[in-house]
A and B are shown apart, each in its own frame.
Chain A
């Protein structure tokens, strides 16, 4: 699929009220992030440290992964290595099959989305229950997340109310968030108590101690792992961090950047399996080790999945997660998609105004907008350049390199002011959709300068 972002976005903005709400709500989250950041005078220093720690870790990843695996195994966990999504899914299925697990309860993991784990396990006859409220809503709706931290941000309460009426037998017409969240608490409580295995992602893996660190607000990862005999952790290899002092930098940045909270309600450290239980950690590469060798895009590996870049992005806020073809939307998703498969995901690189707001909020100082710019320069060689834009660029280059022609064109430009609308605003002119062209001045700056009409301030 290579649908253009603009075409999908046009569908999203047909619902003006939802678009407006989506835009304002996410910008509110961005502002909450700002109000947290200003409480710490060392905020910018923390961002710089985070970036430096990540660059160090990524470029010494073999050492830290070996150390992490060694420590985790000394603590009693079992470490598996998966080259790609297929290996990851097969390892999990084998673990579940060997223990005859019928039901797996999951907390939120973008990596398992990346690996398409749920459909794989379901096809093998395993019941998979998402336990994050947003993820559960979407799972029951059979829809993918549209945001990596607030997965159901595009769904209205009435839709959730209707869904729960049908699936959880809640009161008819009651769509109050308190009521619905409480219904979900009761429903998922039962799932936690009856699942035979739990799967969590990992926000961080600490090399010095072997800890897996998981941050949630709901406590769903904690409830999930408190009852069954088996805990499986899916962890991308870039999630390893050297030690607790490095971790403290990321923990201080993560929740503040993500939701504007000083910390998530739960920051859980899984060091050993529960007594008499098993803990399996799957370290997943799935293309990450190749990115280390890509100097233009290596910084994508610094990402801690906070979604601050999405919340601040004017294009994301007004077009929604489904307008992007990669499962992670927004600035980081544009880049990760291109690293996964440029042919498939090139349509997303136009979803950027190069305003650079993402660079300025990213807690790990990823050069997100610079990377998007670089991808755009490669579109032609990938055979993905927009033909209309290419034609216009070629034409403009011809004019800009010929001063005589340029001046003539400029002198004639005011004609457009009096041209009929259908000549200016038509399907060939994407710019003119939804906005008005400013009037061309009668005289160009050069003409005014030559006539002495420009006064210089002393």
Chain B
């Protein structure tokens, strides 16, 4: 407690001239076709965005994208092909070896390909440990920029959320880009309506 008071009083003692908070309303970029821009940016960061056609079965689409995925983790009601329900694992460690995870995104951002995923499974590990990741996203929930996104994002009781923009990557060896550092080696955003 005394350390806290020492730090705060040292801050107060040293604070001289103060500055006002600016009004944060930049003339932020708006894309005429935010969905198209989102798909373009996702591609540039190593992922892809695919629109689900009307009447198309989502499970069949996923199988056609990842025909070899032996273990599929999902707690989403429409995903019949799931082999593991991440809500039913005892420990997150049991998710190791997951080939594909299918998860729900809530907000897409056209300027940077980010998708907001509030943790809506028991163990957040599923977002990162799967070899490949499919994010379902309602294409009407794509906004142009991060200012809009931060006004829209919500948490649930799990208290964790993440913006994911494409697959995991590293360039730590001679700046050579390698996709699939620790998280997903590939990310597909399936756009629904």
Contact = CB atoms under 8 A, between A and B. Distances in A.
Q: Is the interface of B mostly helix, strand, loop or mixed?
A: loop
A182 interface: yes
A264 to B, nearest CB: 7
Given A83-B7, A227-B92, A249 B24 contact: yes
B3 interface: yes
Interface string B1-33: 001101110111111111111101011110000
Given A222-B162, A293-B14, A295-B16, A46 B26 contact: yes
Given A53-B22, A265-B164, A223 B180 contact: no
Nearest to A269: B161
B183 A266 contact: yes
B159 A262 contact: no
Most A-side CB within 10 Å, residue of B11, B44, B182: B182
Interface of A: 25, 28-29, 39-42, 45-46, 49, 52-53, 55-56, 59-62, 65-66, 69, 75-76, 81-83, 87, 131-134, 137, 150-153, 155-157, 160, 177-178, 180-182, 184-185, 188-189, 192-193, 217-220, 222-223, 226-227, 237, 242, 244-249, 251-252, 255, 259, 261-275, 283, 285, 289-293, 295
A273 B159 CA distance: 7
Contacts of A220: 181-182
Given A133-B173, A248-B149, A289-B14, A263 B114 contact: yes
Contact of A226 (B14, B129, B166): B129
Interface in B136-164: 145-147, 149-151, 153, 155, 158-164
B146 A248 contact: yes
Contacts of A25: 174-175
Contacts of B146: 248, 251-252
Given A56-B21, A226-B92, A245-B24, A62 B12 contact: yes
Contact of A223 (B7, B129, B145): B129
Given A87-B3, A265-B164, A137 B22 contact: no
A28 B29 CA distance: 26
A409 to B, nearest CB: 47
Most B-side CB within 10 Å, residue of A39, A41, A181: A181
Contacts of B62: none
B182 A134 contact: no
Contact of A222 (B18, B171, B183): B183
A293 B13 contact: yes
A49 B26 contact: yes
B75 interface: no
Interface stretch (B51-59, B64-72, B99-107, B120-128): B120-128
Interface residues of B, number: 75
Contacts of A151: 172
B19 A59 contact: yes
B29 to A, nearest CB: 6
A134 B174 CA distance: 10
B7 A274 contact: no
Nearest to A244: B150
A269 B160 CA distance: 6
B165 A262 contact: yes
A52 B181 CA distance: 36
A272 B181 contact: no
Given A152-B172, A219-B128, A245-B150, A83 B13 contact: no
Given A62-B11, A266-B183, 5 more contacts: A217-B181, A222-B124, A223-B125, A223-B128, A274-B160
Contacts of B166: 265
B11 to A, nearest CB: 5
B10 A227 contact: no
Contact of A82 (B3, B151, B181): B3
Contacts of B16: 59, 292-293, 295
B17 A59 contact: yes
Interface string B33-67: 00000000100110000000000000000000000
Contact of A55 (B19, B45, B96, B113): B19
Contact of B169 (A56, A61, A218): A218
B162 A157 contact: no
A237 B164 contact: no
A131 B170 CA distance: 12
Contact of B96 (A53, A193, A248): A193
Contacts of A180: 173
A192 B150 CA distance: 30
B29 A292 contact: no
